[in-house]
Amino acid sequence: MLNDKLFKKNRRKFSEKIKPGGLAIFHSNDQMPTNADGLMPFRQNNDLFYLSGIDQEDSCLVIFPDAKDQFLKEILFIKKTNETIKVWEGHKLTIKEAQKKSGIKTVLWLDDYDRVLNDLMTEVNTLYLSTNEHPRAKVIVESRNVRLGNKLKFLFPNIKIDKSAPIMHQIRSIKEPEEIDMIKRACEITKRGFDRILHFIKPNINEYNIQAELIHEFINNQSRGFAYEPIIASGKNACILHYTDNSRDLKNGDVVLMDFGAEYNNYASDLTRCVPVNGKFTARQKKVYSSVLKIMRGAKQILGPGVFLHDYEKEVGGLVEEELVNLNLISIKDIKSQGSIPAYKKYFMHGTSHHLGLDVHDVSDANSPLKKGMVLTCEPGIYIPEENLGVRLENDILISDNAVIDLMDNILIDPEEIEEVMNG
């Protein structure tokens, strides 16, 4: 399990990168309502968790390396509990428990936040606010970080404002050994889920039946559940990249694409496998599957320290083109006459790799080369709507000193081996 040494190290990395006189604030995520008195399951803000290890609502972390008072260089604010909360919601962190978990000596009740921050702001040159700067983010709801950050902008209009996100993206993209252990454990649980459903899949069951088998295995192995909404897409549904209805009956002769991953201690795994519903690929299905597997193996050989993802994607595009020609889906003429959009994009629309960590599409600096300690997916695919066939294969890859380590190399992927297990 994670301990305070990791969070101390993470805070130190962050503190070394902020400007003199800089103070940074990180709030927990809000508890989001459903309807009436219902609440969605709570999911902690990943930056706050990364820096403190605190996985509780109504929490706040303040990092101020240049504070005159050494006890105010790191401050953790947590929710003050009472007997009513204890009865209805259960145990909340005590001051001592929060100190032990985070390694932060100064832990105060959230009631003290305004008073303490007002006193500190007289020493601050730059206020670092936490915002969601993920390039694929669709910001619809104002987060607690943004809402309380806007309040500080109003109260202290003369203080310079900066964003903590670029720093967090840089340091979070390189995983510490403890984080890699969490991802490995998530991958192990994901393997257990895949092994379970291989013996379960057959014609006439529903996509949601597979999802149910997976969540059963995940929770039984100390995962809180899926790291993201699973995609269980059979037949033509496999050509919908983010299909999550998971409500179609599996038909004899179809292939089912399953994109899922277990979460463990807030860290994600991300796997995709495709199997024949009746336990036997047709000749065409196996040919397409084998092409995707060949692209995946070639892509893994390109990944490594010093590689830029934009260069990598171009090289993978060449691998995809070769296989699509072999499958008679595009021609050499199509490739030569293509415009700004490569011809292969008709059958392979998404990127091949993304960073993985606390977020399944984890934050990173897109303009930096890959470095040791980064974890990425490798997930090529070929989608042929006119054949009601979509094939994607995905493993999680750790960048090592001079090569890569496939964290999912023990999960079945060879088509003949999959058929053998399904018919065993």
How confident is residue 1, by pLDDT bands cut at 50, 70 and 90?
A: confident
> Residue 159 pLDDT > 90, yes or no?
yes
DSSP-H helix ranges across 303-401 = 309-326, 332-336
Q: Which two tokens stand for residue 232?
A: 């269980």
Q: pLDDT at position 339, please? A: 82
Q: pLDDT at position 358, please? A: 98
- The three-state DSSP-derived secondary structure of 162-202 is EECHHHHHHHHCCCCHHHHHHHHHHHHHHHHHHHHHHCCCC
> Residue 105 pLDDT > 90, yes or no?
yes
How many CA atoms lie within 13 Å of 28's alpha carbon, on the beta-carbon side? 20
- 209-265 pLDDT, tens per residue? 999 999 999 999 999 999 999 999 999 999 999 999 999 999 999 999 999 999 999
Compute the average pLDDT of residues 141-146. Answer: 91
Q: pLDDT at position 139, please? A: 82
Closest by Cα among 223, 189, 196 to 211: 196
Q: Which two tokens stand for residue 121?
A: 């702001």
Q: pLDDT at position 248, please? A: 97
Compute the average pLDDT of residues 70-77. Answer: 98
CATH topology of domain 4-171: Creatine Amidinohydrolase; Chain A, domain 1 (3.40.350)
> Residue 25 pLDDT > 90, yes or no?
yes
Query: For the chain, what are the domain ranges?
Result: 4-171, 177-422
CATH code of 177-422, in short, is: 3.90.230.10
Closest by Cα among 176, 174, 249, 263 to 215: 263
> Residue 402 pLDDT > 90, yes or no?
no
Q: pLDDT at position 343, please? A: 95
CA 202/CA 24 separation, integer angstroms: 53
State the average pLDDT for the chain: 96
- 188-211 pLDDT, tens per residue? 999 999 999 999 999 999 999 999
Q: pLDDT at position 141, please? A: 86
Quickly count: other Cβ atoms within 10 Å of residue 219's Cβ.
13
> Residue 319 pLDDT > 90, yes or no?
yes
- 112-140 pLDDT, tens per residue? 999 999 999 999 999 999 999 888 888 88
